[in-house]
Structure 1
Amino acid sequence: MNHLKQIAARLPEYGVDAMLLTSEPGEFYAVGFHGEGVVVVTAGECFYFTDSRYIEAANHLITGASISMTDRSRNYRAMVQEVVDRCGVKRMGFEEEYLSVASYQIWKEGVTPELVPAQKLVNGLRAAKDQEEIELMVKAQEITDRAFREILTFIQPGMTEQEIAAKLQYDMLRFGAMRMSFDPIVASGPNGSKPHAIPGPRKIQRGEFVTMDFGCVYGGYCSDMTRTVAIGEPTEEMKKVYHIVLEAQLAGIAAARAGVPGKSIDAAARKVIEEAGYGEYFGHGYGHSVGIEIHESPNANTRDESLMPVGAAVSAEPGIYLPGKFGVRIEDVTILTENGCIDITQSPKELIIL
């Protein structure tokens, strides 16, 4: 899988003769290969440069690009300059969101074309997943759902947050994941009020919520999900908050479709929580795009006015966090269509009491 033709087709729109891709996500999106290399896309030809550690794999896996290896006499900049001279490149787009100031200066001094910020060229393409990308994300989510089913039979009072996080990671790997899409979050009891709590030695107790936010990478694409479960009988307040969050998530999913701004999807979910009197306890956005990276654009938050494209993969994750008491978050991943969205997360969302 690669997206070289799609990138090449958008070069005129951004007024550049070539696109330089130096980031790991940009490299993978362009040529479908996880290595350490540089991609140059022109209107007529595409090039991939890497070193001796990856050249054999690159030759085996990459199609649609001329592949060359660096050596002691030719570094990446020299190889890119050869392409510049051969193809007459005057203006070259680059990924300004990934290139450090120091690296930018090195590239600016090492090649002759004008370097033009063109992150939006790639971001716009990555925002709309094609069918092959969606299929990989569905598979990643299936692995994550399966790990959730396993964890429900594993959790016991007295077990630590770290033990649960370790089990989630082990199961996702043994079910076929390449790696985690992020370090799992496992937060029990009062730790649940911290949306990005780090799993620690705290032991799970009866009468508490446990929030688990986790995901994996399959075929280069991420999954992401959160479930909050009760260990023993929850209090009435815990049940109330859980169902408010669930209602908010369902409202956001109902509002999610291509052609609407992310802030409108966020507003639909946020309204439920605010009307229930918990608005001040929902501090983050409703969701973010997911793909090669766990956080991509566009986002479904209070500020993002970008119109969602068909094929956007957007998380649906409202939450309520009560400091010193508990927190609840429920998260699925949805694929946006012209008429609505498809929820690719299959785990149940009703309150589970273990």
Structure 2
Amino acid sequence: MSWHEQRTQNLQAILAESGHAGLVVTDLVNIRYLTGFTGSNALLLVPAAGECAFFTDGRYLDQAREQVWIERHEITRDLVGAALGHGLGGWAAETHLITVDEWRTLGELPAAGNLIERLRLIKDEPEIEALTQACEISAAALTRLWEEPLLGVSERQIAVRIETLMRELGADDRAFDTIVASGPNSAIPHHEPTERLVEPGDFLKIDFGALVAGYRADCTRTVVIGQALDWQREIYVAVRQAQALGVQALKPGASIADIDAQVRRDLAESGWLESFTTGLGHGVGLRIHEDPFFTSTSVGRIERRMVLTMEPGIYLADRGGVRIEDTVLVDQAGPVVLTDVTTELMEIS
């Protein structure tokens, strides 16, 4: 049995418990998770018991035969119409991922909830393998970048360079739009790279990751160009301490809300909590931002085989900012950092 077939059987077991006759899967990420299909147009019917049906259009006839383990394929331009022809009484839909018009077209099926997303919280072996490879490529690319001259280079040039390095090392693509922020721009959490040239004394923040087999690495490091000033060292030490505390807390059974509170308490004690204006972390996988998310109101707990980010930061407007982020696998014994790059303060030219 393939991993995709096993995932689908896991979903069918949940559907049987929920009382739904089946699930209409329309989200392409969830379809890829269950079938391996990477095309841009598809629909999947997963009954609580019995044979699944896969729908796509004629552009993907051969691709579907190659990628999708399900035997029943229907090739049509009207995916929803063909699915409705199967009779969907008692079925549910991914209402959290479709528009109101799409929901009405499906016959206003009841909400299934985040059934597939719940399965995706816990990574299986192929997922862990792809995420590990993506993180290793990302770490190697960043290590190479630090060996190159960066003074006088623009943010955009640096973004292009690290993306090129990742591809040269085997990445399929970048995992998301690379963030390169220098000087005062480093205080902007999700700054878009510009033509600003890196100057002596700048913080240089790079948030990036490689894409491998659909799975995404997420890593951020901040360095100083030249010699760090006292204020730069102070906020860097505070972020590094908070990040290390958060990473070490990623153990099976730990409360997600408690971890969020613990890290924020550490930043409060160092005097920098008010300058931490972003989220602490999130799940990562086929999407760059997945459940669970670290908030004060999160109700879940850390589980083995979750893959999460830990990314506290301090952002001082018009001066600069620091973020340190790692992608972390939760093992039975505790956290395993997959983005294995030093978090020590680096002063580079």
**Shorter-normalised TM-score: what interval?**
over 0.9
| Distance in 2 between residues matched to 1:306 and 1:338, nearest whole Å | 17
Match of 1:253 among 230, 241, 247: 247
Matches within 5 A, 1:1-354: 1-2=3-4, 3-35=7-39, 36-42=41-47, 43-71=49-77, 75-84=78-87, 89-108=88-107, 115-354=109-348
Q: Which moved more, 1:55-64 or 1:169-178?
A: 169-178
Measure, in 2, the Cα distance between the counterparts of 1:47 and 1:92. Answer: 14
Q: Distance in 2 between matches of 1:102 and 1:227?
A: 42
Question: What is the deviation of 1:90?
Answer: 2.4
Please state how far the C-alpha of 1:155 moved relative to its aligned partner.
4.0
Shift >3 Å, 4+ stretches? none
Query: What is the deviation of 1:116?
Result: 1.9
Please state how far the C-alpha of 1:31 moved relative to its aligned partner.
0.6
* One-letter code aligned to 1:329: R
Gaps of 5+ in 2: none
Letter in 1 for 2:11: I
Question: Aligned AA for 2:105?
Answer: I
Q: Alignment RMSD, CA only?
A: 1.5
Confirm or deny: 8 A CA contact 2:305 2:329 kept in the other structure: yes
Alpha-carbon offset, residue 186 of structure 1: 0.5
Task: Give the aligned length.
Answer: 342
Q: Determine helix, strand or coil for the equivalent of 1:141.
A: helix
Q: Which amino acid aligns with 1:61?
A: Q
Whether the aligned pair in 1 keeps the contact of 2:84 and 2:106 (CA below 8 Å) is: no
**CA displacement at 1:134 relative to structure 2:** 0.8
Q: Shift in Å at residue 339 of structure 1?
A: 4.2
Measure how far apart 1:16 and its partner are. 0.8
Query: 1:111 aligns to what?
Result: none
Query: Is contact 1:266-1:285 (8 Å) kept?
Result: no
- How many Å apart are 1:308 and its aligned residue? 2.6
* CA 96–206 in structure 1, closer or farther in 2 if over 3 Å, else same: same
Higher mean C-alpha deviation, range 302-311 or range 31-40: 302-311
Q: Secondary structure at the match of 1:53?
A: helix
- Alpha-carbon distance between aligned partners in 1 of 2:209 and 2:94, rounded to the nearest angstrom: 26
Q: Which TM-score applies when normalising by structure 2?
A: 0.94
Contact 1:316 1:332 in 2 (8 A): yes
Distance 1:294 1:211 in 2: 19
CA separation in 2, counterparts of 1:202 and 1:316? 28
Contact 1:165 1:199 in 2 (8 A): yes
Q: CA deviation at 1:337?
A: 3.4
State the secondary structure of the residue aligned to 1:115.
coil
- 1:33 deviates by 1.5
Cα offset, 1:46, TM superposition = 1.2
Report the CA distance between 1:261 and its aligned residue: 2.6
Which consecutive unaligned segments of at least 5 residues does structure 1 have? Answer: 109-113
**Amino-acid identity (%):** 33
Matched-pair contact (CA < 8 Å) for 1:21–1:95: yes
Following the alignment from structure 1 to structure 2, what is the Cα–Cα distance between the partners of residues 178 and 192? 28
CA distance in 1, matches of 2:334, 2:75: 46
Q: Distance in 2 between matches of 1:133 and 1:344?
A: 13
| CA apart distance, 1:183 | 0.3
* Structure 2 residue identity aligned to 1:229: V
